Amino acid sequence: MTAPAPRPDILRLGWIDSARGLSLWAMFGFHLTWDLAYFGWIDHGIPHTAGFHWLGQAIGASFLMLVGISLALARQTRGPLLRSPAFWRRWAMIIAAAAAISLSSFWLFPATPIFFGILHCIALASLVAAPLVAAPAWVLLAAGALALAAPHILAAPFFDAKIFWWTGLGTFEPPSNDFRPLFPWLAFVLFGLALGQWIARRAQGEAPPARGPVSRALALCGRHSLAFYLIHQPLLFGFFSLLALFVVAPARETGFIGQCFAQCFEDTHEAELCQKTCVCTVAHAKADGYWPRMARDDLTPAQKTQAHDAIMACFGDNRD
């Protein structure tokens, strides 16, 4: 009698790993654009456009759909998720990562901290969805539709209290760099569950690995999605922060000249003189090597004296 083949830890489908990797790289591009705008390398208004907003929404929805699909596939091989140690290990890792992101965001962006972002939503939505993994698809789709509609039909001032912000049922959106409340975002996990059930019924065991270098690279990222998520933004933000110590972005230079002009014009009411003086001042700062510190308003006492002399010289030269 042939011994039964060992069950895989989870039904692994290469194309789903690749899809997760594609979502991760889309998120990378989204955060790269945000950082470029924040540090002044591109128009700072780009992250606030409607197109950029909806791109972020689509990327978030794709992540949550893939969470639902993965839960369905995990249940296929592990049985009831709430009794699976692997489920709880993964859940604890997500909780720890979410806490780390919140702590760092309160330090870096105290006015718009991430108190309930995509990882917080994944953690809570996974708990809500886990008991429903075996529910009929029509139940999941109906529950998803209700979750999607909830902010429109259940929103009330009662939920405006901070303690209820995570629900998404308040009458306004709290300030945050990443806000993904339970409603309506739970809907995409439930839709993913329904789709994952359909995929699991048609998949048999371990699927062939992804083919081609791009697919393999995406699948590798998808298999390590949490690590990718945690690492990429600190690396991007750290790189641009370090670069700002030595190079001033074009938008920062334009902003500095604009502020310089406004201060000068308030005193002299001579627009042409002020414009030439401010441009000349920046040119002197670049030539003498203290321009990055001047743009950050971080000059040493000696450099402040040097900058003052340059401003006076530029003002005098251009007035003549």
Q: What is the pLDDT of residues 184-196, one digit of tens each?
A: 999 999 999 999 9
Residue 210 pLDDT grade (very low, low, confident, very high; cuts 50, 70, 90): low
Instruction: Give me the pLDDT at residue 211, please.
Output: 65
Burial class (CB in 10 A: 0-12, 13-18, 19+), 38: middle
Residue 12 pLDDT grade (very low, low, confident, very high; cuts 50, 70, 90): low
Over 90: is that where the pLDDT of 176 sits? yes
Burial class (CB in 10 A: 0-12, 13-18, 19+), 59: buried
Over 60: is that where the pLDDT of 130 sits? yes
| Average pLDDT rounded to a whole number, residues 107-127 | 94
On the CB side of 283, how many CA atoms lie within 13 Å of its CA?
8
Contact criterion met (CB below 8 Å) for 27 and 66: no
Most confident of 69-73, 76-80, 273-277: 69-73
Query: What is the model's pTM?
Result: 0.80
Question: Cα–Cα distance between 62 and 192 in angstroms, integer?
Answer: 9
DSSP state of 309: H
Contact criterion met (CB below 8 Å) for 134 and 81: no
Contact criterion met (CB below 8 Å) for 310 and 291: no
| Average pLDDT rounded to a whole number, residues 267-293 | 87
pLDDT > 90 fraction of the chain, expressed in percent and rounded: 52
